[in-house]
Amino acid sequence: MTETATQPGEVSAEQAAREQELIEKVLASFENTPDERLKQLLQSLTKHLHAFIREVRLSEQEWNTAIEFLTQVGHITDDRRQEFILLSDVLGASMQTVTVNNPAAGQATEATVFGPFFLEDAPQIPNGGDIAGGAHGQPCWVEGMVTDTNGAPIPDARIEVWEADEEGFYDVQYDDNRVAGRAHLYSDTTGQYSFWGLTPTPYPIPHDGPVGKMLAATHRSPVRASHLHFMVTAPGYRTLVTHIFVDGDPQIEIGDSVFGVRDSLIKPFEVQLPGTPTPDGRDLADQEWARTRFDIALAPAQD
């Protein structure tokens, strides 16, 4: 039999006072925290967490279920799978944090979620190189220019790119230690960059764990809109973590499972017929390929 929690309107003045007294005691316990920012974070967290418990009149059974859920999230997390990031993503917390920390700055390219599949030390490729590394999918030529918000070129900007293959898997989701669908390159002296990748396709975030069970219980899709990840860095500029999305992808209208789509990041991926000349002379006589352009404007670094 499911326990029924007391509704907020049914709390007596005496009960409300007891609950408030507890909050004050917890807040006071952090008063001597030497780090003022840590003190602010913990006291604010306490206020909001207790407000949530009181608002929904959380039952002990529900509290135990939540602890069990978070324990499962921790157990499935390892150096190749970050279930806590997935949880943050599907609750919109990741995107909200990105929004708070990347205020509008003129014509700066908008940021979006980082995702759980970035890896340090991706191989370097030259401009015009191929990030696929054997990953399967439709070849796609990506080009653009890195500038500041006034349109001045930024040379030698480091551009990290990573994406899933046509099956919807990143290299780290395979068991053979492959490195595919990821690389880094640098903008040239005029700010230009280009590379071969794969035309992005929709795929589900990992949903065989506790986060997936939560989505299923709430009738939410785990599918992400088709996208290609970028992280762009240059001295004196704010680090940009973003994606580009495929114009016309139906999943954009259905909904991205981590709320990462921004209209300014939706780009046309123009499919080219077999035999259409490629920008670098690559022979694709027997297959279709696509091309897109993504110009990137970096905001100045924050003080």
pLDDT higher than 90, residue 199:
yes
Q: What is the longest distance spanned by two Cα atoms in the chain? A: 79
Helices and strands of the chain, counted as H and E runs: 7, 13
Phi, psi of 267 (to 5 degrees): -125, 145
For position 303, what pLDDT does the model report? 60
pLDDT in tens, 86-100: 999 999 999 999 999
pLDDT in tens, 10-58: 889 999 999 999 999 999 999 999 999 999 999 999 999 999 999 999 9
Burial label, 50 (beta-carbon count in 10 A; 0-12, 13-18, 19+):
middle
Residue 81 Cα distances to 141, 170, 174, angstroms:
29, 11, 11
Does this model's pTM top 0.85?
Answer: yes
What is the C-alpha separation between 169 and 206, in angstroms, rounded?
9
Strands (E), 131-239: 139-148, 158-162, 182-186, 192-198, 203-204, 223-224, 227-233
In contact, 205 and 175? CB cutoff 8 Å: no
What is the C-alpha separation between 109 and 296, in angstroms, rounded?
6
pLDDT in tens, 153-173: 999 999 999 999 999 999 988
pLDDT higher than 70, residue 226:
yes
Domains for the chain: give ranges and CATH numbers.
8-85 (no CATH), 88-298 (2.60.130.10)
